[in-house]
Amino acid sequence: MVTIADVARHAGVAPSTVSYVLTGKRSISPQTRTKVRESIRLLGYHPHAGARALATSRANVVALVLPLRPGVHLPVVMRFVTAAVTTARRHDMDVLLVTADQGAQGLRRVAGSAQVDGFLVMDVELDDDRVPLLRQMAQPSVLIGRPAAVKGLTCVDLDFESAGARCVDHLADLGHRYIGFLGAPSVVYQRNTGYAQRTMAGFGAAAMRRGIASTALPAEDDYESVLASVRSLLRTQPAMTALVVHNEAALGWVAGSLRALGRRVPDDVAVVAICPDELAEQMQLTSVQLPAEELGRQAMELLVARLNGHPTAPLTLLPPKLAGRASTAPRLRRA
Distances (CA, A) of 114 to 31, 61, 118: 24, 10, 10
Whether this model's pTM surpasses 0.85:
no
Peptide bond into 70 cis (omega under 30): no
Measured CA distances, 97 to 94, 193, 268, 331 (Å): 10, 20, 45, 47
Residues 165, 283 within the same domain: yes
In a domain, 207, yes or no: yes
Mean pLDDT, all residues of the chain: 91
Is 281 within the bounds of a domain? yes
Asked if residue 300 is part of any domain, the answer here is no
Tell me whether residue 134 is in a domain: no
Task: Look at residue 57 in the predicted model and tell me its pLDDT.
Answer: 60
Q: What is the CATH number of the domain that holds 48?
A: 1.10.260.40
Domain that holds residue 50: 4-56
- Indicate the residue among 33, 56, 79 that finishes a domain: 56
* Number of structural domains the chain divides into: 2
CATH number at residue 201: 3.40.50.2300
User: What tens digit of pLDDT does each residue of 125-177 get?
Assistant: 999 999 999 999 989 999 999 999 999 999 999 999 999 999 999 999 999 99
Span 94-110, mean pLDDT? Answer: 89
Judged by average pLDDT, the poorest of 51-65, 148-162, 189-203, 277-291 is 51-65
Can you tell me the distance from the alpha carbon of 122 to that of 146, in angstroms, rounded to the nearest whole number? 9
Mean pLDDT across 50-61: 58
Please give the pLDDT value at position 22: 76
Query: Strands 118-121, 141-144: parallel, antiparallel or unpaired by DSSP?
Result: parallel
